Each structure stands twice: as structure tokens, then as C-alpha cells.
Amino acid sequence: MEAMVKITAAEVNKLRQATGAGMMDCKKALVEAEGDFDKAIEVLRKKGQKVAEKRADRDSSEGAAIAKINADNTAGVAIVLGCETDFVGKNDNFVALANQLAESAINYNTKEEFLASDFGGMTVAEKLIEQTGVIGEKLDIKAFEKLEAPFVGSYVHINKIAALVGLTAKVDNAEVLVKDLAMQVASMGASTLSYKDFDPAFIASETEARIAVIEKDNIELGRLGKTLKNVPQYISMAQLTDDVLAKAEEAAKAELKAEGKPEQIWDRILPGKMERFISDNTTLDQEQCLLDQNFIKDEKMNVAKYVASYGDVAVTAFKRVSLG
């Protein structure tokens, strides 16, 4: 057949540009398709399907996390294009494909819509199969998150983690605020916005589990003669009712009295003691709630205070995707 059909270098290059396949694979596909460009693409796609079937059970744990924001900053998308090896995940062509897919993904609300959408004359799902054949590794969309708000921003950490954050309004320097917040989300991995979002049953079970871990650690620390860890009564602001805080303040006053501190200076000491009590008893919030976390650029304040410094604006939501 090769003797009957002359395949030019220009035709091979055109197919290579369209599919990303190697020169020899493109030439073989064009020969098999007797020079028909569309049929050659189908040949490569079928090759991709065979490779994809063989590698269906492989773990696509590497890849690229990408975030894209629309022109007016009212919507953003974060995706993970997964592959099998770090070598492919860092390849320029693979990262370029991930960016192209993310640019397209911003037009869709769900992963299912996106996979079924058109991408250069084929669906995104078909493109992934085609590229599985080209690259020789399983490719898939491991994560897809869409966020809409009056102002949306993003941050991507070396194509390993991508984060989106939405604000209630575009205030002065909103670009700086939203990037800092997205960086916080990427770095600290909050699971929710505020302690108010927690289910009471979750807080109760988490409190029991955390106290059990600390008490177990203290047994070992005691055996070694080391300082024991503080065992908190609570782990979330949701548990610190007015009654709990009032009792904590009375306990702090009793402590000051026992220490012989003059009552006239208590007002200067109590705020610090109450801050310490709240800090010691809100560890869950500090770990999992974005607004209650220490701000990574200035740990003297939490994220809520940092947001408040920008005026009349609040965080609507956030999304995070990662290779892990």
C-alpha cells in the first residue's frame, strides 16, 4: 500500500500538529488511510482506544492542575489532567494540552458536560483517548471544579495544586486579595469556609477522637518525663457558647486572684487569657476553616481579619484541586 500512496512530509506534519502524535505514527496512519486526513485521525483514535483499554486499570496519579478565569473575572474553573508518570506530567506538550482543556472547560458547569463537549472536531473524552494512544499513558480528567461569583481569582502551585476563590464584590486591589486567598487555600487545604458550616455530629465525633489521641500521647510523654500536651475541652468556636466563655472568664479571674495579681490590672490581662483559651479550644477551625486559619503571610491575624482589611467584601466560596 505504501508504494501506491505517496505521503508527503507536509501531510505528516499537518497530522502531527493536529494530534500531537509522532512522525512515524502519523505516516503509518496516513498510509493506512490511503492519504485521507480524517481517516488517519480515526486510525490514531482507534489506536488510542486499544491503548486505553489495556491501561484502564492504571493509576493516573500524576499530571497537571490548571486554573482558568474568564475575561470579566466572574467565573473560574480548576481541572486536573491526570497521567501515569511525572515525566509525562512535566512535558511541555502535555501541560499545553491541559491548559487548552482548561480554557475550554470554563464554558461548562459539570465534568460530564465538559467531557461531552467539542474539542477540535471530537469530544473531550475522545481527545483523551486519542492522546492516550499518542503518549502511551492513561489520560483522564481527575478533577473538575467550577466557581462563579461577582469576582473570582485563582492560584496555581507548580501545576500540582490549583485553587479558586470567589468574592462578594470587586473592591480596590481585589486581584491581590483573591490571589492571596487562593494561595492560602492551595497551601493550607481548608475544607470549609467557616466553623458555622460544620455539622454538630461531626464536631462531637472529632472532639472525642482528638482528645483520645492527645491523652494517648500524654501517656507516652509522661513515661518519658516530658511536658504533657494540653487536653482541650473543645475544638471549635461552635462549641464556645456564651455560657462556656463566661465560665472560662471566671476561671481566668480565679487564677489571677490565686496568683495575687491586683484586681485593677485584670482588665489588661484577661483579654490575652481569653484569646489563649479560644485559640486552645478551636483547633478544628484553625485547621479546616479558611476564615479561621492563621493568614500565611502574617500569622498575627487570621484570614477573616485580612479579608476585613479590604473593606466591605466577603468570601463566597472556594475550590481546590490537586494531584494527590
Chain segment 65-123, per-residue pLDDT in tens = 999 999 999 999 999 999 988 998 998 989 999 999 999 999 999 999 999 999 988 89
Mean pLDDT value across residues 157-184: 95
Q: Is 137 exposed, middle or buried (0-12, 13-18, 19+ CB in 10 A)?
A: buried
Residue 318, SS3? strand
Element (H, E) at 140: strand 140-148
Band the pLDDT of 1: cuts 50, 70, 90: very low
Q: How far apart are CA 195 and CA 37, in angstroms?
A: 58
Residue 7 predicted with pLDDT over 90 = no
Encoded amino acid at 25, one letter: D
What residue ranges of the chain are covered by domains with CATH 1.10.8.10?
A: 9-54
- Specify the higher pLDDT residue, 56 or 128: 128
CA-based R_g, the chain, Å:
28
Question: Residue 52 has what pLDDT?
Answer: 63
Contact 97, 66 (CB under 8 A): no
Residue 229, strand partner residues: none
- Sorted by sequence, the CB contacts under 8 Å of residue 12 that are 6+ apart come out as 23, 26, 27, 30
Range list for CATH 3.30.479.20 in the chain = 62-169
Confidence of residue 271 (pLDDT cuts 50, 70, 90): very high
The confidence band for 169, taking pLDDT boundaries of 50, 70 and 90, is very high
Q: All 3 cell numbers of residue 27?
A: 505516516
**For position 3, what pLDDT does the model report?**
45
* pLDDT band at 56; cut points 50, 70, 90: low
Q: Could you please report the per-residue DSSP string of 193-258?
A: S-GGGS-HHHHHHHHHHHHHHHHHHHHHHHHTTPPPPP--S-SSGGG--HHHHHHHHHHHHHHHHH
CATH number attached to the domain at 62-169: 3.30.479.20
CATH number attached to the domain at 9-54: 1.10.8.10
- Of the two residues 58 and 210, the one the predictor is more confident about is 210
Which pLDDT score, from 0 to 100, does residue 8 have?
A: 85
Please report, as a single letter, which amino acid is at residue 279: S
Question: Do the bridges between strand 315-322 and strand 122-123 make them parallel or antiparallel, or are there none, so unpaired?
Answer: unpaired
Amino acid at 131: Q
Q: How far apart are CA 115 and CA 113, in angstroms?
A: 6
pLDDT tier at 27, thresholds 50, 70, 90: confident
Measure the CA–CA gap between 291 and 306, rounded to whole angstroms.
9
Residue 4 pLDDT more than 60? no
Residue 241 has pLDDT above 70, yes or no: yes
pLDDT of 49 higher than 90: no
- Kindly report which listed range (148-157, 223-232, 315-324) carries the lowest average pLDDT score: 223-232
Q: Is the pTM of this model over 0.75?
A: yes
Q: Report how far residue 187's alpha carbon sits from residue 216's, in angstroms, rounded to the nearest whole number.
A: 29
